[in-house]
Structure 1
Amino acid sequence: MFETQRCFINTFHKTDYVDVRKLFANQDVRKFLGGVRQEYSIEVSLDAMLNSSDDYFYWVVREKHTDNFMGLVSLDPHHEGLYLEISYQFLPNWWGKGYATEVVQLIINYALYELNLSKVVAETQTANTSSCRLLERLGMELERTISRFEAEQAIYSIKSS
């Protein structure tokens, strides 16, 4: 378990299925992530997250004072397979309040300084300007843009110092 000033970040468990399903079914959350997932696809993804191997990390984020579910953050192999990618999804009522910045910074630090990774990457659609700004605010640098999933994607990275 991790803790920030306002959040608890716990390893994903089967008891989190109902909450995490809310992310996969939310049209606003999924706007830049390929759209709302079908129920069968959601179940397959949740089972894969629960039964993942050693280089996959999934955490559920909850607000400290209420224990309300906020979102999901993960580290798992990037599409290109060279580095772990940080990913995050938060329900819309938690957007714009600094929670994602707080949580993603902690997980980046964990990846670089506890897991001793030399580099962490993130991929987001260039159209997702809020996500691009968040990654830049955390010190990630734009490496390149590519076309994937029928959209322009920005590949960001940060290296250990």
Structure 2
Amino acid sequence: MFETERCLIRSLQESDFVDVKKIFANKEVRKYLGGIRQDDAIEAGLDEMLNSSDNSFYWVVREKHTDEFIGLISLDPHHDGDYLEISYQLLPHWWGAGYATEVVQVIITFALHELKLPKIVAETQTANTSSCRLLEKLGMELERTTSRFGAEQAIYCIRTS
């Protein structure tokens, strides 16, 4: 478990499925992530996360004082297969208040210093300017762009210093 000033970040559990489904069914959250998923795809994805390999990590983010569900954050193999990718999805209610910055920074630090990864990546649509700004704010650098999932994607990276 990780703790920030306002958040608790703990491993995904089966009891989180109802909350996590809210992420995959939210039109705003899924705008740059391929759209809302159907129930059977959500169930399959959640099962896969719960039974993931040793090099995949899935956490839920909760508000520290109220235990309200904020979102999901993960480290798992990137599409290209060379490095782990940090991904995050927060419910819109929590956007714009620094929660993503708090939790993503903690997981970047964990990945680079505890897991001793030489590099982690993040991929987001170039159209998702808020996500691009967040990654840059946290020290990630644009490595390249590519076309994937029918849109231009920005691949960011950060290395151990």
Is residue 42 of structure 1 aligned with residue 46 of structure 2? no
Question: Matches of residues 20-59 of structure 1 in structure 2 within 5 Å?
Answer: 20-59=20-59
Q: Which residue of 2 aligns with 1:75?
A: 75
Which of structure 1's runs of 4+ aligned residues deviate more than 3 A?
Answer: none
Tell me the alpha carbon deviations over residues 65-116 of structure 1, each in whole angstroms, 9 at most, x when there is no partner.
1000000000000000000000000000000000000000000000000000
Q: Which residue of 1 aligns with 2:147?
A: 147
Tell me the alpha carbon deviations over residues 127-150 of structure 1, each in whole angstroms, 9 at most, x when there is no partner.
000000000000000001000000
Q: CA deviation at 1:57?
A: 0.1
Query: 2:139 is aligned with what amino acid?
Result: G
- Which ranges in structure 1 are unaligned for 5 or more consecutive residues? none
Query: 1:127 is aligned with what amino acid?
Result: A
Question: Matches of residues 88-127 of structure 1 in structure 2 within 5 Å?
Answer: 88-127=88-127
Query: 1:114 is aligned with what amino acid?
Result: E
Tell me the alpha carbon deviations over residues 17-38 of structure 1, each in whole angstroms, 9 at most, x when there is no partner.
0000000000000000000000
Quote the Cα distance in structure 2 between the aligned partners of 1:106 and 1:51.
23
Is residue 132 of structure 1 aligned with residue 132 of structure 2? yes
Give the aligned CA root-mean-square deviation in angstroms.
0.3
Q: Which residue of 2 aligns with 1:60?
A: 60
Name the SS for the 1:120 alignment partner. Answer: strand
User: Percent sequence identity over matched residues?
Assistant: 73
Provide the TM-score with structure 2 as the length reference: 1.00
Tell me the alpha carbon deviations over residues 24-63 of structure 1, each in whole angstroms, 9 at most, x when there is no partner.
0000000000000000000000000000010000000000
Quote the Cα distance in structure 2 between the aligned partners of 1:63 and 1:142.
30
Provide the TM-score with structure 1 as the length reference: 1.00
Quote the Cα distance in structure 1 between the aligned partners of 2:66 and 2:156.
33
Is residue 14 of structure 1 aligned with residue 9 of structure 2? no
